[in-house]
Structure 1
Amino acid sequence: MARKICVLVISTLFATSLYSQKTLQLEECRQMAIAHNKSIQIAQENVKVAQQYKQAAFTQFFPNFSANAAYTWNQKSLSLLAEDAYLPVYSLNANGTPNYGASWNNSWTVVNGTPVPLDANGKPFNPSTSPDKIEWKNKALLPKEAMEFDMKNVFVGTIGFTQPIFMGGKIKALYDIAKYGEHLASAQQENKMTELLLEVDEDYWRVVSLESKVALAKEYKGLIAKMDSDIRTMVDEGVATKADALKVRVKLNEADVSLTKAEDGLNLSRMALNQVCGMPLDEKYRLADQSLDTKTVEPQLIPIDQALANRPEIKALTQMQSIAKANQKAMFSRFLPNIALTGNYLVSNPNSFNGFETKFGGMFTVGVVANIPLFHFGDKLHTLNAAKSQYRIATLELEEAKEKMELQIKQSSYKTAESLKKQTTTQHNIDQAEENLRYATEGFEAGVITSTDLLAAQTAWLSAKSENIDAIIDVKLCNLYLEKSLGTLKAPAANNTIKK
């Protein structure tokens, strides 16, 4: 009586422990993995980086405003004269013309009827070619200090803008590259998401498979243990030999080893799933598909072109092709002139806008700047040819990827259909193996079948069950791979942050 009570208490505690464990759905595992995975977070940041680069490229269409300022201290001031200067002073006639006779001290003579001045030696000279021989009556003093300018402290400032007018399409090409770069980052994020979902699903169904294998190993061990108990009773009664008992004991030991291997594999697989989902490695839980339902929803087949359009790899390669095309346009723009509108306001101290003044003064300037490439020793031509080759490479890579992915879709469809047939076949094998085991057990208990035949029937039943588990999991994985090849393997809606 006490033994029954103990067994009841242990069973109750075990059931309570199982009930207290949380149950995880496949979608929950996906969501936790997406929230925890660092690669997804990095991909999301890369999308933000690409968006910022795109916005930065868009600003190049607008004018660029800038301000500059400078201060310079000079040791010396600026002087236009080395010494005091004397300027000649003319006497004027009534009509305002110079009166040379009244302005010069030179003596005069008449040569061929024309008055000509005489130099200090009494020789006639031409004042136009020899002005140094002129003796002025009056001179004005121009002191050196009057032509000195205070340049010891110089302040200069400017504020202006530059507006591109025509850059040969360079700005548009660079903006397109940034835009395609954003789309590329989104496609790479989607690809990371798909790879993560694939990894989560594989780990999830691996745990489900091993849980079923552990349960099967325990059930098989129970059959062998019952047979071991029966054969020992038969040995005691003299209707079986010790050799029969040893054969059963060996099978029981093998069942123990198989159960241990299955449990170890289950623990390792559960750790891998925990790591992907961001849970503690030793956390225990139940999986919603632990019962291993044989009902499977097959992915809906879609046209090849639509499937290829869904694939993030194709989206990424398409953007790479577009980037290469835009880069080719950017290289071609280097052959074309660049025209820009400029405007500035210049201020300086000292300034010369109203004489030389040691105070701030400024003015506005507006102009058009043009740069026309003339000769570059083939530099621009080589870079253009390289850009054309890069575009052809991107096109070939895209075409090659489409061919391989089309083959992958065909193979995945074939493997999915094959796995369904295998599942149906293994299910029939289970029915036959269970019937064979029932007949063998009844025959053994009736003494008309040997222990060897019963062990063979049990082994066949174990093999059929194990193959059926593998077939069911294979159907799940083949459907998963088919979804990925069709591009329909998507993240849960609540966490699907991919920008379209």
Structure 2
Amino acid sequence: MRKLLGFILLTSMVTPATAQRLLSLDSCRAMALRNNKQMSISRVKQEIAANVRKSARTKYLPHVSALGGYVYTSKEISLLNDEQKDALNGLGTNFATGVQSSIGPYAQILPAALQQRLGADLQQVAGVLNQFGGGITDAFYTDTRNMFAGSIMLTQPVFMGGAIVAMNKMADAGEQLAANSAEAKRQATLYSIDQAYWQVVSLRHKQKLAQSYLDVVKKLDGDVQKMIREGVATRSEGLSVSVKVNEAEMTKLKVDDGLTLSKMLLCQLCGLPVDEQVTLADEESEDLSTVAPAAAPQHVDLSETRPELKMLQNMIDMGKQTTNILKAGHLPQVLLTGGYAVSNPNLYNGFQRKFAGVWNVGVLVRVPIWNWGDVAYKVRAAKGATAIATLQRDEAREKIELQVSQSQFKVNEANKKLEMARKSTERAEENLRTANLGFQEGVISTTTVMEAQTAWLQAQSQKIDAEIDVKLSQVNLQKALGTLQY
């Protein structure tokens, strides 16, 4: 017997548990923020905006670039024409010929030995001059059919008309816009998950209420059937109660289906499989609204709490910086330049077939003179867009202020409805208790009992709705104020 008992205990311990996952409101919020695709997109957009801002910062810094190239031409550059080349190559010959023609008539009176000596000297001088002229021709030979060139250049902006400053301010505003957009989506995600969560809680309480009502009606049906068999109740009364049983079963079926669909939506928002079996922490709570609703703080600055207003302000700031960038196109621009250039052939010591280079520094100045009013038109258009954004922000602020007032009113209204629903529930319970006692004593008809049961069901359902309305109205107020936090 002990062995059998031990085996049973061991089997019960190793049997896998099939308990449902228990979720609280905070855990649902955390999973929703972690798995929401729009939140992931917002995070990527923030990274993009941060990289754009970092890129804008680099515009203040010097930029270094390298350039290289090769060119082959079918002809070389020639600084001497063909006649000049021939004249230089025959410089000595032409000189000797000229001398001989000049002294020819006088050479006959010279001794033969002197004439021979003079001719030899002329030939020697002609050779030297020919060699000298050929050297000059070779010196002017460029050989530029194959040309190589390269350079490293550094540019440092000095004054760009304020365009770089405006670009950086715009990048900062863009990063803030991405952050505020992420905050808006975060609050929207929390708002959606809260609504889905309390919808499930509401339907779960209504499911228990529907089951309780079904049990009560079935008990009444059983009592009426006994009374019919005893002859103290009519068949018509039995059929009326049976109809109520069918209606209660249909109501419970609808609530069951609605609860299943609501849980599927909640699982989808939390990033869980839609067929995941979950149980919420507030499903078994008897009193859902135990905390009194707080009044809206009077010192809250909506421009600082509502991400939508922040986004509109960011757009205004970006519009102003766009105007400044356009204005910069009408102002002078100054850059410092420096670098090193190399070429082959080079010109720094005649035409040489080798690489040689030179350092350089300089200043570039660009001054716009006339553009037919193009910049002025663009500036006016940008100012118009900024004015539109300003009006949109003001309109949005007015609507949000109205939304806050309405949300605060709904919180107070929901609280009043809850108090009324609680009182109605107490009366309905007392009415049902009295009707049941009267029915048992035979002084109250089944119709009166069914009416009391229906009134009790409606009162309980209204109490559940009122409790959920209090929760949702508080969430609506927090979202309207921009203080919905996790």
CA–CA separation in structure 2 for the residues paired with 1:76 and 1:299:
91
> How far has the Cα of 1:146 moved from its partner?
4.5
Give secondary structure in 1 for the equivalent of 2:297.
coil
Match for residue 402 of structure 1 among 387, 391, 397:
397
Q: Is the 8 A contact 1:299 1:482 kept in 2?
A: no
- Residue identity opposite 2:32 in structure 1: A
CA separation of 1:305/1:442 partners in 2, compared to 1, >3 Å: closer, same or farther?
A: closer
- What's the counterpart of residue 462 of structure 1? 457
CA–CA separation in structure 1 for the residues paired with 2:44 and 2:292:
35
Q: Is the 8 A contact 2:203 2:259 kept in 1?
A: yes
> How far has the Cα of 1:85 moved from its partner?
4.6
TM-score (norm 1): 0.83
CA–CA separation in structure 2 for the residues paired with 1:32 and 1:299:
27
Is residue 2:277 matched to residue 1:278?
no
> How far has the Cα of 1:301 moved from its partner?
2.3
- Residue identity opposite 2:305 in structure 1: N
- What's the counterpart of residue 268 of structure 1? 261
- What's the counterpart of residue 429 of structure 1? 424
- Residue identity opposite 1:38 in structure 2: K
Q: Is the 8 A contact 1:214 1:263 kept in 2?
A: yes
Is residue 2:297 matched to residue 1:298?
no
Give secondary structure in 1 for the equivalent of 2:467.
helix
Match for residue 361 of structure 1 among 343, 356, 370:
356
> How far has the Cα of 1:467 moved from its partner?
0.4
Q: Is the 8 A contact 1:25 1:289 kept in 2?
A: yes
Q: What are the within-5 Å matches in structure 2 for residues 190-229 of structure 1?
A: 190-229=183-222
CA–CA separation in structure 2 for the residues paired with 1:394 and 1:65:
39
CA–CA separation in structure 2 for the residues paired with 1:159 and 1:299:
68
Q: Is the 8 A contact 2:432 2:453 kept in 1?
A: yes
> How far has the Cα of 1:23 moved from its partner?
1.7
Deviates more, 1:16-25 or 1:415-424: 16-25
CA–CA separation in structure 1 for the residues paired with 2:297 and 2:429:
40
> How far has the Cα of 1:80 moved from its partner?
2.1
CA–CA separation in structure 2 for the residues paired with 1:46 and 1:362:
47
- What's the counterpart of residue 239 of structure 1? 232
CA–CA separation in structure 2 for the residues paired with 1:153 and 1:254:
100
Structure having the higher strand fraction is 1
CA separation of 1:477/1:345 partners in 2, compared to 1, >3 Å: closer, same or farther?
A: same
Q: What are the within-5 Å matches in structure 2 for residues 75-224 of structure 1?
A: 75-83=74-82, 84-86=85-87, 141=130, 142-143=133-134, 144-224=137-217
CA–CA separation in structure 2 for the residues paired with 1:395 and 1:250:
63
- What's the counterpart of residue 497 of structure 1? none
Q: What are the within-5 Å matches in structure 2 for residues 322-471 of structure 1?
A: 322-471=317-466
Q: Is the 8 A contact 1:299 1:483 kept in 2?
A: no
- What's the counterpart of residue 250 of structure 2? 257
CA–CA separation in structure 2 for the residues paired with 1:74 and 1:186:
58
- Residue identity opposite 1:159 in structure 2: I
CA–CA separation in structure 1 for the residues paired with 2:86 and 2:420:
121
CA–CA separation in structure 2 for the residues paired with 1:296 and 1:272:
27
Give secondary structure in 2 for the equivalent of 1:344.
strand
Q: Is the 8 A contact 1:430 1:468 kept in 2?
A: yes
- What's the counterpart of residue 5 of structure 1? none
1:205-252 deviation digits (Å, cap 9, x = unpaired):
000000001100000000100000000000000000000000000000
1:2-47 deviation digits (Å, cap 9, x = unpaired):
xxxxxxxxxxx9xx99993232110000001111111000100100
- What's the counterpart of residue 484 of structure 1? 479
TM-score (norm 2): 0.86
5+ residue gaps, structure 1, are 1-12, 90-101, 107-136, 493-500
User: Alpha carbon RMSD of aligned pairs, Å?
Assistant: 2.4
- What's the counterpart of residue 35 of structure 1? 34
- Number of residue pairs matched? 435
Q: Is the 8 A contact 2:343 2:356 kept in 1?
A: yes
State the identity as a percent: 41
> How far has the Cα of 1:56 moved from its partner?
0.1
Q: Is the 8 A contact 2:160 2:333 kept in 1?
A: yes
1:310-347 deviation digits (Å, cap 9, x = unpaired):
01111111111111111111111111001100112000
Give secondary structure in 2 for the equivalent of 1:149.
coil
> How far has the Cα of 1:308 moved from its partner?
3.6
- Residue identity opposite 2:52 in structure 1: Y
CA separation of 1:300/1:48 partners in 2, compared to 1, >3 Å: closer, same or farther?
A: farther
Q: Is the 8 A contact 1:308 1:405 kept in 2?
A: no
Q: Is the 8 A contact 2:218 2:245 kept in 1?
A: yes
> How far has the Cα of 1:286 moved from its partner?
1.5
- Residue identity opposite 1:230 in structure 2: D
Give secondary structure in 2 for the equivalent of 1:148.
coil
Q: Is the 8 A contact 1:296 1:476 kept in 2?
A: no
- What's the counterpart of residue 113 of structure 1? none
Give secondary structure in 2 for the equivalent of 1:239.
coil
- Residue identity opposite 2:394 in structure 1: E
1:46-98 deviation digits (Å, cap 9, x = unpaired):
00000000000000001110000001122233322232354799xxxxxxxxx
- What's the counterpart of residue 74 of structure 1? 73
Q: Is the 8 A contact 1:26 1:204 kept in 2?
A: yes
CA separation of 1:479/1:410 partners in 2, compared to 1, >3 Å: closer, same or farther?
A: same
CA separation of 1:34/1:214 partners in 2, compared to 1, >3 Å: closer, same or farther?
A: same
CA separation of 1:29/1:297 partners in 2, compared to 1, >3 Å: closer, same or farther?
A: farther
CA–CA separation in structure 1 for the residues paired with 2:388 and 2:139:
74
Give secondary structure in 2 for the equivalent of 1:78.
coil
CA–CA separation in structure 2 for the residues paired with 1:369 and 1:64:
15
CA separation of 1:105/1:378 partners in 2, compared to 1, >3 Å: closer, same or farther?
A: farther
- What's the counterpart of residue 132 of structure 1? none
1:465-500 deviation digits (Å, cap 9, x = unpaired):
00000000000000000000111102x3xxxxxxxx
Q: Is the 8 A contact 1:304 1:406 kept in 2?
A: no
1:440-474 deviation digits (Å, cap 9, x = unpaired):
00001111000000000000000000000000000
CA–CA separation in structure 2 for the residues paired with 1:312 and 1:146:
77
CA separation of 1:17/1:241 partners in 2, compared to 1, >3 Å: closer, same or farther?
A: farther
Structure having the higher helix fraction is 2
- Residue identity opposite 2:157 in structure 1: P
- Residue identity opposite 1:398 in structure 2: R
